[in-house]
Amino acid sequence: MEDNSEKSAADLSTVNKVKKLVDDLEAATKTTSKGRAYKQVFELYDCDKKVVSWKFNEWDYGRNNVRLPCNARGLFISDDAQNPEIIARGYDKFFNINEVPKTKWDWLEKNTVGAYEITLKSNGCIILISGLEDGTLVVCSKHSTGPRNDVDRNHASSGRAYLKSQLAAQGTDEKRLALRLHELNVTAVAEYCDDSFEEHILEYKGEQAGLYLHGINYNQIDFRTWPIDKVTEFAVQYGFKVTEHSKTLDMDSLKSFLEKCSRDACYKDAEVEGFVIRCKLADKETDFFFKYKFEEPYLMYRQWREVTKDYIMTRSRIFKFRKHKFITNKYLDFVIPILDNDPKICENYMKGFGILELRNMFLANYGMSGFEILNYSRIQELELKNSVDFDKVDENTKFLIFPIAVIGCGKTTTSLTLKNLYNDSWEVVQNDDITSKDKSMLMKKSLEILAKPEIKCVFVDRNNHQLRERKQLFDWLDELKEDYLPYNINIKVIGLSFFPYEDIDKVKELTVSRVLARGDNHQSIKVSTYGEKKSLGIMYGFLNRYQPVNEHESPDSLFDMMINLKILDADSSLFNASYIVKQIHKKYPVLIPKLPSHEEIKSAFEESLLYKPTIVKTFSSSNGKSTTKKFKPEFFSAAIADRTAIIQEIKNLREQYQMDACAKYGLDLLFEENKFQKEFHITLAHVIQGKKGSDSDKEIWNGYIKRYQELYFQSIKKGNKSKHLSTEEIVHFKLKKLCWNEKIISIIVELIQIEDSKTPLSSKVLCCNEVPHITIGILDNCTRPSFSNELCKKVKYINVQGKDTHCLDFVTTASFEANICVNL
């Protein structure tokens, strides 16, 4: 009786803990910032019960400033408010060596203890397997389970089907496995590796295909898992593929083993992706995982896969490679004729099939394995002529610094302080000093100075407050670098983020007061000339357009180092200069071998305060006099007058369809947080397409130029200074598909014809975009509206939808109107 009482108390305690976890997870769904949780309810196979899947954004795991209710990557809890149970639990998210502070070797040496279990890293998709009290087998992918009709590839369903065949082959009743897992209160974690279902980087065909069991976790909030020996016993008992493993007792032996495998790029004469290492934290009770992934040849293989996909999408061979230039171009020479002559191969490739076969065809034709290519001296010589080891830092390495700031942040004062500290080897190029109409002159001038033997670092002084400006700098650098410096000179790019986005209100107050106090001592804003109102308007424009740094996505992921700064009330430039010097010295001592004293930094700072701008940059004509202008539009569009009607159609669509929580979340965010674009339009032709597009794009662009240049000059004569010039022509169009992902929402449209006042329904609408569309709303502030192009092409041509991309067909047959506009 006493035992039952103790058991009942323990059960009640567990239920209460899980209830508290669910409350914390529910609360996390309501936050709009760090640590947001996402929930989705799923039906189970073979029973009428439901489970709730919980997940977080990938970048929130492992961050020191984010505390998650549970770190499980894959968490399923029963849909029972009174007695919730953890039904299936994945591993706590773990990281690669040196990816986060807790996977740096020095941290691991101080904070972990052996034995270190080394398990081979399988290359497939995670499958979680558990059981209910009634013997129902529960099989989940990382975040999904049960029957679904909203995805084109159901990982949980396929994993379940394979598991059933595996159990049947050895005569094991699946109910027996389910009851055993439930009795143990654990989740079996396997990797489903099967090229007939989904291809990854490594090959799994025939006998190699299957469910590789590599972990068994307790169904509890804190992470606890079985040792690999017990996992292997369980795998053998139930017919799973056994995950290869070994064990070492100390860190030195572990490092020696991993370094040897990394040099050979293989394990037991086979290509492998890497290893997962399992150990304990210093308390000897808490389980801790980290991974050791081999960079090569998998980086090369992934590059081949991505350039193939890009070629299929764009039919363009213009790629910029950081590594493997020579061999990747050889690969393209081989595969492009195959892709051009067989649309079926292209279609299958975009669906994830034929990737390995195409790669192997090339390797067979070339007569070498991937490992042999990487180690063949002649190819290494050719690669050296075609690429640079971007990880190498030595006495020949040069540096560029790109700030991310707004007016009044102190970037110029900071840059001049740094230059004054290292007057012989550092230089500053100010964008405001560039008077050429060639915008890339900023980078050309920077590289020209950086090419001087004595110069080690150039500060490229521009605000770069928008993503497109940061991308522009990296694009120019890629394009122009070898015009100024030898191919074997490496350039490291350091970013200076002058403030975090959450400080924007404080920044607004500080920078405005600084600029107004500065008066005319600024190249861009002359308060006495512009007046306070216009000066504030210019500054607020920068602040409103500011897009914060997101190191997880391009272009900000391209920085080799990012230094995050703060704007202080007083002497922030002095403080920031000192902080920048310390951070660069720590990471790149080749650039700053010795730290300067505080007195030296202060002296350099005081000298920077004496700086007076000699060139005045103006934002527009201040005297109102017209000057000779050329017709240089940025793009032509069809501006939609009745924006409300489009929004109503989206509302109707939203109400007509049943959607899962993941899909519904994007549309809910659109309406609840009013993420709609302020105006709706269909882009017909953009200046980039006119300059760098196909022959057809250039023809369409030039046609619009000829069509509307007279209208433009007439409006100039009338004193019209508007950036949007409306024409008398009306475009008729229909709504076809609403498509969205976590970043953006768009509508694919069908263009019908143009109507004007002289010739009703006179001509077909010409559009440079392959898929005409309307950008409806941006859900992620770091996403550019032009991302709609990529999304709409994927939906229309590849039919990519499901887990991350969603699509609904409009049922309306109504025709809508838009007015053609010239956007200057």
261 within 8 A of 267, measured Cβ to Cβ: yes
The segment(s) of the chain belonging to CATH 3.90.1740 are 635-823
Q: Which helix (H) or strand (E) holds 276?
A: strand 274-281
CATH, range 635-823 = 3.90.1740
Give the number of other Cβ atoms within 10 Å of residue 605's Cβ: 23
Q: Which of 321, 466, 474, 468 is nearest to 400 (CA)?
A: 474
Options 121, 456, 526, 675, the catalytic residue = 121
CATH, range 398-608 = 3.40.50.300
Those residues whose C-beta lies under 8 Å from the C-beta of residue 244, and which sit 6 or more positions away, are: 119, 120, 267, 268
User: What angle separates helix 355-366 from helix 343-350, to the nearest 10 degrees?
Assistant: 120
pLDDT at 674: 82
Provide the phi-psi class of 487: left if phi over 0, else alpha when psi is between -120 and 50, else beta.
alpha
pLDDT at 508: 78
Looking at the whole model, is its pTM more than 0.75?
no
Q: Is-cis flag, bond preceding 227, omega within 30?
A: no
Q: Which of 95, 97, 112, 117 is nearest to 254 (CA)?
A: 117
User: What angle separates helix 377-386 from helix 325-341, to the nearest 10 degrees?
Assistant: 90
Per CATH, which fold does 2-99+123-242 belong to? Answer: D-amino Acid Aminotransferase; Chain A, domain 1 (3.30.470)
Provide the phi-psi class of 219: left if phi over 0, else alpha when psi is between -120 and 50, else beta.
beta
pLDDT at 246: 92
- Whether 121 sits among the annotated catalytic residues: the reply is yes
The segment(s) of the chain belonging to CATH 3.30.470.30 are 2-99+123-242
- Which positions of the chain have pLDDT values less than 70? 1-12, 32-33, 148-153, 264-265, 317-322, 376-390, 482, 486-488, 513-535, 537-539, 569, 612-629, 721, 755-764, 782, 797-803
For tokens 């250039």, name the residue: 698
Q: What are phi and psi of 213, to 5 degrees?
A: -80, 125
The beta strand positions in 337-490, using DSSP E, are 398-404, 426-430, 457-461
**What is the spatial distance between Cα 752 and Cα 772, in angstroms, rounded to a whole number?**
11
Give the number of other Cβ atoms within 10 Å of residue 345's Cβ: 19
CA distances to 40, 131, 330, 357, 801 from 219, in Å = 19, 11, 50, 40, 32
